Amino acid sequence: MRIDRILSSCVFATLSCFSFSAFANGGEESGLQSFEVDWFSSGAAIQDLRDRSTKTFELLDQDNSSSITFDEIDLSEMESEVSDMNNEELREYSRRVQAIQSRFMNWTIEFDEFEVVDTNGDGVWNRDEYEERRQNLQSHRLQLGLEEYDADENGAVELHEFNSHLDELELLDEDADGIVSHKEAFKSKDDRVISDVLMNRLAADEMVWASYSMAAPAASTSNAFEVKVMRNVEIEVDKKAKD
């Protein structure tokens, strides 16, 4: 289900934030009940969403060409340069990896993984193809993600394409208060809009944002499982508070 895919991609960061909030309440009020009451009314300011998206674009546009090409998001190529980076370069590299994975890594489009790894098309994997299979599959998913943004099919993503999924924010903002609530966001048919709104506040915290970006992609997580996890967190937090 669509909602499963979106929520499970955000569940780690959401639970992290939720658990800290519940603990801060000292167990006097159920963290889960407070979460349920406030969650749908919470949201993100439209201007904040646009500004954050533009800053992400600027981070990924390494050559300042006002467009993002595949070479600029090719994680395989970037990984080969890590050993020569100093501490400052490593921090910048980490930020770029997080942004690339969250924006361009496409886990929704199905494809024949065998054919992607079989780069010479001979019907079998040789040793080199086998050893490079992870990098090739990763690059293929990134290419698919870039193509989703690339509306004019010129091989690059310009700023207006990168931010195009945010064009409907004003329409989603039914009360015209400049903020898209979680409830309003879920009326969008674009998963990227929903993800941006859900992650806006958490993205301000680098530790949580890094955990979210590096988390494994959604597969078969169900709503029931997510609720059960949150209830387990609540029980553990309440127990600690009582002790």
Instruction: Give 2-11 pLDDT, tens digit per residue.
Output: 555 554 445 4
Residue 217: per-residue pLDDT? 47
pLDDT above 70: residue 239? no
Residue 64: per-residue pLDDT? 95
Domain regions of the chain by residue span: 45-220
Distance CA 158, CA 144 (A): 16
C-alpha distances in angstroms, 230 versus 69, 121, 196, 220, 240? 40, 47, 21, 17, 15
* Averaged pLDDT for residues 176-183: 93
pLDDT above 50: residue 102? yes
Residue 29: per-residue pLDDT? 52
pTM of the model: 0.68
Question: Tokens 């010479």 identify what position?
Answer: 120
SS3 at position 219: coil
Distance CA 194, CA 174 (A): 15
pLDDT above 50: residue 233? no
* Averaged pLDDT for residues 134-146: 95
pLDDT above 60: residue 126? yes
Residue 79: per-residue pLDDT? 82
pLDDT above 80: residue 192? yes
Q: What is the 3-state secondary structure (H, E, C) of 158-205?
A: EHHHHCHHHCCHHHHCCCCCCEEEHHHHCCCCCHHHHHHHHHHHHHCC
| CA 165 to mean position of chain CA atoms | 14
* Averaged pLDDT for residues 129-150: 95
SS3 at position 26: coil
* Averaged pLDDT for residues 97-121: 93
Residue 130: per-residue pLDDT? 94
| Six token digits for residue 237 | 């937090």
